[in-house]
Homo-oligomer: A and B are copies of this chain.
Amino acid sequence: MAPERSAPRARTRQYRSGDERRIEIVRAAIAIIAEQGLRELKTAELARRLGVSEATIFRHFGSMEEILVAAVRYEAALLRDRIEAFEGSGTPWERAEQLVLSLLDFFEETGGGPIVIVTGQVIRLSPEIREIAMKTIGLVRRRLAALANEAVGRERAAASGEQVANLLIAVIQSSALRWVMSERKWPMRANAEGMLEVLRQAVEAREGGVA
C-alpha cells in the first residue's frame, strides 16, 4: 500500500556509524554538484536527499566548507585509484586510448562525480580545494604523457608527447562537458572514440615520420 502521504522524515531513525554517514554526505554533495551545479548545493538539499535532518549533517561536519573539502578529496582519491589500477594492453598508443575511454566510463559509472574535478567546476571554492584538484589533474596528465611519449617514440622531441597528452586531456574534458551540457544524453565514449581515431593518425604519422 501507499507509504505515507509525504513523510517529511523516515519514521524510524536511520542510525549509521560516523564514517558511513560522512561518506554518504560527501557522496550526496558531489552528486548535487554534478547533477545540478555548485549553486544548488545547500544544507537543506543535502539533508533532503539523505533523509536526515540538517542537524545530522552538522553532527558529522563542522561546516559546509569542510564538506566541500572532504568531497573533493574523496573524488580525487577515487580518480587516483582508478588511474593507478589501470593497466591496459597492446601498444602504448592503444593503452593511452584505453585509459581515456576507461576514465570516461568511470565518470559515467560514478554519476559524473569526477567530472567536477576534471572540468574545474570546484576549483574556486578554496585554495585547498584548488590544490587537490590541480594535483589530481596533474596525475592524469603525467600518466597520459608517459604513454604518449612511448607511443610517439623516443627519437622525436619529448615535447610532442606532452602535446599529445594535452590533446588526450582535451578529449576527456570536452567529452565530459558535452555529456553534462546535453543532460547526459550525448555519450562520452562514442564522442571520444571519433576524436581518438583522428589523433591516432597524427601519432602514426610521427612514428613512420620524417626521420
Which A residues are closer than 8 A to B by beta carbons? Answer: 36-40, 119-121, 123-125, 130, 133-134, 137, 159-160, 162-164, 166-167, 169-171, 173-175, 177, 180-181, 191, 194-195, 197-199, 201-202, 204-206
Contacts and interface: CB of A to CB of B under 8 A. Distances in A.
B195 A202 contact: no
23 contacts: A38-B38, A40-B124, A119-B119, A119-B177, A120-B177, A120-B180, A120-B181, A130-B181, A133-B181, A134-B181, A159-B194, A163-B194, A163-B195, A163-B198, A166-B191, A166-B194, A167-B198, A169-B174, A170-B170, A170-B195, A198-B202, A201-B201, A204-B205
Between A39, A159, A164, A191, the greatest number of chain B beta carbons within 10 A of the residue's beta carbon is seen for A39
Contacts of A133: 181
Between A164, A167, A175, A197, the greatest number of chain B beta carbons within 10 A of the residue's beta carbon is seen for A167
A188 to B, nearest CB: 12
Given A38-B37, A39-B38, A202-B198, A123 B166 contact: no
Given A36-B124, A173-B174, 17 more contacts: A37-B125, A39-B124, A120-B181, A133-B181, A160-B198, A166-B194, A167-B167, A167-B170, A167-B195, A167-B199, A170-B170, A170-B173, A170-B174, A173-B173, A198-B199, A201-B206, A202-B202
Contact of A164 (B121, B130, B134, B198): B198
Contacts of A164: 198
A161 to B, nearest CB: 10
A159 B198 CA distance: 11
